[in-house]
Structure 1
């Protein structure tokens, strides 16, 4: 198992990014993927939806604060987008190519993850079986991202790297972690 740590950077925009840090780690062992995000800083400025009693699959979670990651099969244009709301709601989309052929990934009926909230930090952890979508023999290219919605409705986009002229998490050359 190789655990890799990460630190996300905000996309540079005319408006300033909030005083936050987003760090974490990701690993793959026996085709189990584990990812943990840690959001720290002035969380009073961030819209963090309250935890729901029963998490559901929901669309457009990226319109609010949302932790995301993208998995691409090496040497293939196919990839998956995982959306995890601090409220507990989630979704997974499968793409055939860059922003093409988007479909909900039906291999998962639930995606339970842990959210721990404190006044100055929020932690989200997910551990799941990749065998439902990707054989263990295939190497993965990973992009790790987060959308942060501030109380003034300004949205910032955080990623390992930003390769485009605009914030675009789907650019395959930003899938820089290999698992």
Structure 2
């Protein structure tokens, strides 16, 4: 499971690590898991009914960025423990944002113990850009009002920006490809 790193300008309180990985994908579903260790003070948004919502990043949420190699455009997937979600298309870095049509809603579930939280998401593959992808995996973690920003990499040390192409470091091939 790849370890995410927190942005140096926003240290976590108790969270020790955040990991993210693809746990399965085929031509119908893409399944992703985030694991948070040190989750005793994790702020978890209450269930608010499935559906699209904006500004999920204002509290604990989990994100994917999918970009075709050599392309400027990319898709951003926001997933909340509240089961709210959204998917956006961008034509370039933070440019040309529009909601991406989805054939159905992603399925999300959060399990939390005293020290660990697991967030699983199943995203309809038909609503995502075609494979292969350069992928950014990230998380906003809120602990009692403090926020930390976790990603595979951070391009700018002064402020977190998950849209920075330097964060898109994970390569994902088409299902069944070597």
- TM-score norm. by structure 2 comes to 0.86
Shift of residue 89 of structure 1? 1.0
Identify the residue that residue 158 of structure 1 maps to in structure 2.
150
Q: Which runs of 5+ in 2 are unaligned?
A: 173-178
Query: Structure 1 CA distance, aligned partners of 2:128 and 2:150?
Result: 26
* Counterparts in 2 of 1:48 and 1:133: CA distance versus 1, 3 Å: closer
Shift of residue 73 of structure 1? 1.1
1:148 aligns with 2:141: yes
- TM-score norm. by structure 1 comes to 0.85
Structure 1 runs, 4 residues or longer, greater than 6 Å off = none
Query: Structure 2 CA distance, aligned partners of 1:156 and 1:94?
Result: 25
Identify the residue that residue 113 of structure 1 maps to in structure 2.
108
* Counterparts in 2 of 1:17 and 1:29: CA distance versus 1, 3 Å: closer
Identify the residue that residue 8 of structure 1 maps to in structure 2.
4
Shift of residue 29 of structure 1? 4.0
**Paired residues, number:** 169
Please give the root-mean-square deviation of Cα atoms over the aligned residues, in Å. Answer: 1.8
Among 27, 36, 51, which residue is 2:47 paired with?
A: 51
* Counterparts in 2 of 1:173 and 1:28: CA distance versus 1, 3 Å: farther
SS in 1 for 2:53: coil
* Counterparts in 2 of 1:177 and 1:125: CA distance versus 1, 3 Å: same
